[in-house]
């Protein structure tokens, strides 16, 4: 991989890399063209698989040398054994899932750790647009209300509550806007939410 | 006629084996021969060989034509040739007719050198395991230690899979296409009906029809008609024929009324004229018996624990005879062993037959993966 490619990597990918162990076995759900897995492999010598539904993305992932499984995440991860991966990643796909609750449970079943990232609907710019009477359209939510694949948008507060309700331990949470960490009023000031999760051990 | 990306005019070859082959059934073939074809050149290091395993009615004639005016090319010609997804400028491709076949290799219709008569019904029942063993011997004969890839669809996919169980060190990449780790009861049921059609044909004579000067054409024809229904999807039959009438209006008869009937009869007749009934019985039995997990407490993951190849598993959405769910079982076993695997579920209307068709996405996958293989 060229250096240019590394520097051009999505900011959340660079942060995800910090949450993955060297030589970890990784499962990337909705892996797209496999950029993240390739990056993880080249920086951390990880192994693992990607899951991708779309033909063009699947083929692009194959060309990137990724072991990619073509399947629909909505059907769960029944082909994967319990706790068979170190880290299971779902980056910016949660909001487009129909079976949101079950995919998070499935990820926690298959992975010892789970990384989830999603656009924060509570970000002030989104709130502003709603205040002025329109659905939010932005760089992180680039769709119109009538053509959006996003069916389960949530705020950081919503997801925190979700984790409490589902006995999910938040190991780390990071909120970023324009590539910068947000510490003050994250649910208002944060554009992208990133969670590192695991099941609460009994 | 000259096709720019065809392997061109090809010729079958025959390899004779005198070392006895003990079959899974316990029967022994004291000697046998295998008919095969090759395309492309074997490189000096012998690292570019690709074995094509055929399905139920396939054979060694995978690509090219026997003469310039040969009407049809080999059965997987759309995949194989210079510049095609399986590029013969890079790979040395081997196709063979499996034991028990009727296209040149030792089988029921070939002459038993011990008696100078066709083996007839005495030719033993052969299995996927027996085929892989005979294929390994063919590789020995050709001086090839390790395959760059083994590729098979349907029953051929079972052979490709089995290679990794018995000769894991001899396979670098394995393509298991439109296949299954074993047949379901429903799938075996179709085979049983096909066999019954043949066995109950009065011209069958317990498989000894060669010596009675007959051919159990009727049985073979029905077997093939049944097969064809199961290789197509409801949708594709609907698109192709729907309820179209052959003669514009109904005749209130049992002759061909609907286009679909005409198609099935044509396919049945064509097949009955060129295939051997005893071979058909054996091929369907090989399908039925294949169940590699059986020796491993029913655990396919254990069966594949010695595998070391990189895998490509492909299924087709409307294939109900070898459904995507069955391919996913193979994928799961590979995942359980942390083996490299790429699994594609190709959207196609063409049912089981899709694996022989030049679907753009399917062929893009084959091309992109095969290009990555280093030889």
Vertex B220: Cα angle to B219 and B223 (nearest 5): 85
Q: Which residue out of B54, B61, B103, B352 is catalytically annotated?
A: B352
Answer whether A70 sits within 8 Å of B332, measured CB to CB: no
* Model confidence band, residue A179 (pLDDT cutoffs 50, 70, 90): confident
Distance between CA atoms of residues B364 and B88, nearest Å: 16
Concerning whether B319 is annotated as a catalytic residue, the answer is yes
B341 contacts A67 by C-beta, under 8 angstroms: yes
Residues of A in contact with B369 (CB under 8 A): 62
DSSP A82-137: TT-EEEEEEES-GGG-SSHHHHHHHHHHHEEEEEEEEE-TTSHHHHHHHHTTS---
* Model confidence band, residue A5 (pLDDT cutoffs 50, 70, 90): very low
**pLDDT confidence of residue A3:** 39
Distance between CA atoms of residues B99 and A89, nearest Å: 48
**Mean pLDDT (whole number) for A21-32:** 97
Question: Is A6's pLDDT higher than 60?
Answer: no
Mutation for B interface: A47, A56, A72, A79, most B CBs within 10 A: A79
Vertex A174: Cα angle to A171 and A179 (nearest 5): 155
Answer whether A47 sits within 8 Å of B338, measured CB to CB: yes
- Phi and psi at residue A198, in whole multiples of 5°? -155, 170
**pLDDT confidence of residue B4:** 79
Residues of A in contact with B332 (CB under 8 A): 79-80
Interface predicted TM-score (ipTM): 0.94
Q: How close, in Å, is residue A76 to chain B by CA atoms? A: 13
Question: Is A48's pLDDT higher than 60?
Answer: yes
Q: Which residues of B343-375 are buried (b: 16+ CB within 10 A; e: fewer)?
A: bbbbebbbbbbbbbeebebbbbbbbebbeebee
**Residues of chain B predicted below pLDDT 50:** 1
Question: Is A46's pLDDT higher than 90?
Answer: yes
What is chain A's length? Answer: 202
What's the predicted TM-score (pTM) here? Answer: 0.95
Expressed in percent and rounded to 5, the helix, strand and coil fractions of chain A are: 35, 25, 40
**pLDDT confidence of residue B287:** 98
**pLDDT confidence of residue A1:** 37
* Mean pLDDT over each residue of chain A, to the nearest integer: 93
Mutation for A interface: B331, B342, B374, most A CBs within 10 A: B342
Answer whether A79 sits within 8 Å of B331, measured CB to CB: yes
**Mean pLDDT (whole number) for A53-75:** 97
pLDDT, tens only, B181-228: 999 999 999 999 999 999 999 999 999 999 999 999 999 999 999 999
Q: How close, in Å, is residue B266 to chain A by CA atoms? A: 36
Answer whether B372 sits within 8 Å of A80, measured CB to CB: no
Answer whether B338 sits within 8 Å of A80, measured CB to CB: no
């Amino acid at each position: 991989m060229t250096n240019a490619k590394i520097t051009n990597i999505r900011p959340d990918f660079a942060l995800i890399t910090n949450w993955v162990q060297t030589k970890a076995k990784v499962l990337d759900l909705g892996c797209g063209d496999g950029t993240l897995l390739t990056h993880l492999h080249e920086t951390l010598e990880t192994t693992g698989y990607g899951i991708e539904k779309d033909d063009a993305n699947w083929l692009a992932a194959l060309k990137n040398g990724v072991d990619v499984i073509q399947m629909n995440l909505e059907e769960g991860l029944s082909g994967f054994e319990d706790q068979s991966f170190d880290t299971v990643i779902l980056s910016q796909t949660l909001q487009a899932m129909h079976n949101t609750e079950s995919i998070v449970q499935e990820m926690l079943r298959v992975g010892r750790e789970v990384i989830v990232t999603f656009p924060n609907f509570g970000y002030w710019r989104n709130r502003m647009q709603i205040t002025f009477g329109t659905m939010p359209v932005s760089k992180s939510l680039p769709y119109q209300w009538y053509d959006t694949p996003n069916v389960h948008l949530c705020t950081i507060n919503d997801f925190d509550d979700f984790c409490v309700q589902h006995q999910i331990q938040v190991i780390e949470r990071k909120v970023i806007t324009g590539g910068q960490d947000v510490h003050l009023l994250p649910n208002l000031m944060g554009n992208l939410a990133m969670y590192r999760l695991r099941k609460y051990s009994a | 006629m000259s096709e720019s990306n065809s392997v061109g005019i090809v010729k079958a070859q025959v390899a004779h084996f005198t070392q006895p082959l003990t079959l899974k059934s316990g029967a022994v073939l004291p000697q046998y021969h295998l008919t095969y074809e090759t395309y492309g050149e074997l490189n000096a290091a012998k690292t570019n060989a690709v074995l094509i395993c055929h399905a139920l009615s396939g054979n060694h004639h995978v690509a090219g034509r026997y003469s310039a005016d040969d009407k049809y090319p080999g059965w997987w010609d759309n995949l194989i040739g210079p510049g095609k997804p399986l590029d013969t400028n890079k790979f040395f491709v081997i196709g063979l007719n499996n034991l028990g076949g009727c296209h040149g290799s030792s089988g029921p219709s070939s002459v038993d050198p011990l008696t100078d008569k066709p083996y007839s019904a005495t030719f033993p029942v052969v299995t996927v395991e027996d085929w892989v063993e005979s294929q390994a011997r063919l590789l020995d004969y050709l001086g090839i230690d390790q395959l760059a890839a083994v590729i098979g669809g349907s029953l051929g996919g079972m052979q490709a899979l089995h290679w990794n169980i018995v000769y894991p060190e001899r396979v670098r990449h394995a393509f298991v296409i439109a296949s299954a780790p074993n047949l379901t009861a429903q799938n075996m049921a179709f085979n049983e009906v096909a066999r019954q059609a043949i066995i109950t044909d009065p011209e069958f004579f317990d498989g000894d029809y060669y010596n009675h000067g007959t051919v159990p054409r009727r049985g073979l024809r029905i077997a093939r008609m049944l097969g064809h229904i199961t290789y197509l999807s409801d949708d594709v039959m609907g698109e192709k024929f729907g309820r179209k009438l052959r003669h514009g209006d109904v005749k209130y008869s049992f002759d061909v009324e609907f286009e679909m009937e005409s198609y099935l009869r044509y396919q049945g007749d064509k097949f009955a004229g060129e295939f051997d009934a005893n071979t058909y019985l054996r091929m369907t039995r090989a399908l039925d018996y294949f169940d590699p997990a059986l020796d491993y407490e029913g655990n396919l993951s254990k069966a594949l624990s010695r595998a070391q190849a990189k895998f490509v598993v492909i299924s087709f959405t409307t294939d109900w005879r070898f459904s995507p769910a069955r391919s996913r079982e193979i994928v799961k076993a590979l995942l359980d062993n942390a083996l490299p695997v790429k699994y594609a579920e190709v959207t196609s209307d063409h049912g089981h037959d899709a694996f022989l068709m030049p679907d753009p996405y399917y062929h893009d996958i084959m091309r992109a993966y095969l290009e990555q293989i280093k030889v």
